Amino acid sequence: MSTTFYSNGKLFISGEYLVLDGADAFALPTKFGQDLVVTEGENQIIEWKSYDYDKQLWFENVISFDEVINNADSEVETVKTTLINILHEAYLLNPEFIKQSKGYKITTNLTFPRNWGLGTSSTLINNIAQWTKINAFTLLKNSFGGSGYDIACAQNNTPILYRIENNFVEPVIFNPDFTENIHFVYLNKKQNSKTAIQAYNRHKDQNLAKSVAENNKITKAILNAKTLKEFAYAVEKHEIHLSNIMEIKTIKEIAFPDFNGTVKSLGAWGGDFVMVVSKENPKDYFTSKGYDVILSYDEMILQE
């Protein structure tokens, strides 16, 4: 007998960084995600296997119940130590999944390449929380840290507005008739969110309340845009706003200054995917620049 848990991946459309200081974040769950399949095992061990989207085994290890309970400090952070840390935090929140079991065989399966940055960790944390019957936001806070918007996407099948205070999640309607003008392009530059957040913390200034209010206003404009022009304008405004706070150039200025359209960083600036808003199909432009992974809105975003 096996039990399967599943979580959605995520794309952060607006509110990145400022979400940590209470701003509204607008995010979209993706059609891609990760499952976790749990089968009874024995010998007080967890036999763990993780598969990438192409069924390639990318991680395999055996973790003893003792390791989960004690979580010995390790000098070097590896996939195994990270996983033990998450399981240990889950154990502290609900020890029953260890106490009442002889062992487990667990497999995880991604439906997207794990370097895409759509939430390999957040989908794992949400799946482990479902399995161990604990609060996923608490598990995230105690293990990885972060705002929690990705957990909200993991749990919801609609666009969401998210606020860090009390992990407030509001499902919202975002279904404009110009989605065929929205594409997502993979930049293949892995950004470390922790490093990016440290950079943000160094730059955010004394006008934080004003910045948060401005973000919320722009987020509302993005969400309520009735035309492609309105949407592109609001998205561009968001880029400029964050560019000023972070004191770094926008991704369009750096990499695509000649592109006829809007390019927006998603999540940690400069990495993973960007959102492209344009009248013309942008595939030829980005392919000519060496970017081959270009997904349409319909291919990427989960729609009920």
Predicted confidence (pLDDT) per residue in 172-190, tens digit: 999 999 999 999 999 987 6
Q: Where in the chain is the domain with CATH 3.30.70.890?
A: 179-300
254-270: pLDDT as tens digits: 999 999 999 999 977 76
Hey, what are 295's tokens?
A: 């997904």
Three-state secondary-structure class, residue 265: strand
Question: Would you state the pLDDT for residue 190?
Answer: 64
pLDDT at residue 269, as a whole number: 72
* Whether the Cβ atoms of residue 20 and residue 164 lie closer than 8 Å to each other: yes
User: In which element (H, E) is residue 220 found?
Assistant: helix 208-224
Could you give the residue range(s) of every CATH 3.30.230.10 domain in the chain? 2-171
pTM to 2 decimals? 0.94
Q: Give the pLDDT of residue 91.
A: 98
Q: How far apart are CA 45 and CA 39, in angstroms?
A: 12
Write out residues in the chain with pLDDT < 50, as ranges: none
State the amino acid at position 181 in one-letter form: N
CA distances from 205 to 18, 209, 268 (A): 11, 10, 19
Q: How many CB atoms lie within 10 A of CB 246?
A: 18
Paired strand residues for 265: 274
CA dihedral for 126, 131, 132, 134, sign (positive or negative): positive
CATH topology of domain 179-300: Alpha-Beta Plaits (3.30.70)
CATH node for 2-171: 3.30.230.10
3-state DSSP call for residue 159? coil
